Amino acid sequence: MKILLLDDNPLETEIIKSKLNQYDFYEILCFNHASLAYEYLRHNFVDLVIIDLDMPEEDGLLVLSKLSAINFEQPLCILSGLGEDIIILAEKVARLYGLNIICSNVKPINDIALKKVVECAAKLKSKVDSNDFVSNISSYSLKEIMSGIERDELIVHYQPQYSFNSKELVSFEALIRWDHSSDGLLYPKSFMPMLEKSGNTRVIFNALFNMVTSKIAKYPSELKFSINISSKDLSDETFVGYILDILDSKKLSPDRFTFEITENIAYELEPIMLQNITRLKINGFGLSIDDFGIGHSNLINLVEIPFTELKIDRRFVKNYLLCLKHKHALELSVSLAKKLGLIVVAEGIEVYEEYSAMKNLGVDICQGYLTGKPDFIENILNFREHCYTKTTFSIDKVR
């Protein structure tokens, strides 16, 4: 595992390096100048970056801005002596830039907390791995993307969701991927921004929904499926009608599907979007507010829109054990969701400590690499002579 440390004080980087060297399985790179660290990260893959904020040459916030400009996706940790309030603001900046920040700590960091940070990054394996580093930061033209779609290169990976109480498999989140003919497996960040910019996200939803609905007819009705929808989808007057026509043609029930709406979309609702949300609810679909807590929090929308599920963002899960303010915020969110009668899903659970904490908090459903990475559905479900057998998750296997 390769870890990059950035701090203008050589003594600080040496202290952290010595702590990490106790475990013998890390390659540690120390940088005391932001420009040199940034240049290295432009051309090289690392598993984790630990960055200071207060640096005279170029502060950590400017480095975060530059990392965002190159679509840097590896885990980040902010480690600074500026105080918790400043660190929380820096975290918010990093998230707004779309960076993969997993936690932050006030200096000096103790051995246990540092080990947790590294273990989080190791379990997370980032949003992409080293083999995908080049291809996933590449940009593709709209013509290239549409050609890939026409060649049927889109595929669906499914991430399982398990009940904390019964440990049984209860649902899947369907995730679109591009199996590029030459660049390999690509994640949405490689192609969705261009489709959003050009107003073509609907083609992705149509492809995803058709692939999902063509698969699930042979699976038991108790298995549910979650699908993300964009603001562009919700702004289309034909959206709900299209969904209902597909289900009718395949004789599938709406109650098997939950549509995930991000908190930002819920904040900027237009009449047609609210109309489509209402029609989805009337027809029996589940509605999830996704990434709760990181967008434009609006309690009025949470109360007035008929959500059936609240999905806790992975960043709150990561920071629950590391930051007292995040812990309190998450406890309030779960308590509110329960009082509103919502199912609570925690995503991004990567280590047993997070699993245990979310279970004890009263979260209903677990999703994350700990209980299952996204994969083809056939690789997740158990089949015996083409018959599905109930799948459960054994937490004891990973303790």
Instruction: Give domain limits for the chain.
Output: 2-129, 142-386
Q: What is the pTM of this model?
A: 0.74
DSSP letter for 109, please.
Answer: P
The alpha carbon torsion through 91, 92, 98, 101 (nearest 10 deg) reads: 20
From the number of C-beta atoms within 10 Å of its C-beta (0-12, 13-18, 19+), residue 162 rates as buried
CA–CA distance, 79 with 52 (Å, rounded to integer): 5
The DSSP secondary structure of 291-353, one letter per residue, reads: EETSS---HHHHHHS--SEEEE-HHHHHHTTT-HHHHHHHHHHHHHHHHTT-EEEE----SHH
For 191-242, write each residue's pLDDT tens digit. Answer: 988 888 888 889 999 999 999 999 887 787 888 999 999 888 999 999 999 9
Q: Are 2-129 and 142-386 equal in CATH topology?
A: no
CATH architecture of 2-129: 3-Layer(aba) Sandwich (3.40)
Average pLDDT, integer, range 14-34: 84
> What confidence tens digit (pLDDT) does each residue in 277-315 have?
999 999 999 999 886 655 555 677 778 888 999 999 887
Q: Which two tokens stand for residue 279?
A: 């029609």
For the segment(s) 142-386, the CATH number from 3.90.600.10, 3.30.70.240, 3.20.20.450, 3.40.50.1100 is 3.20.20.450
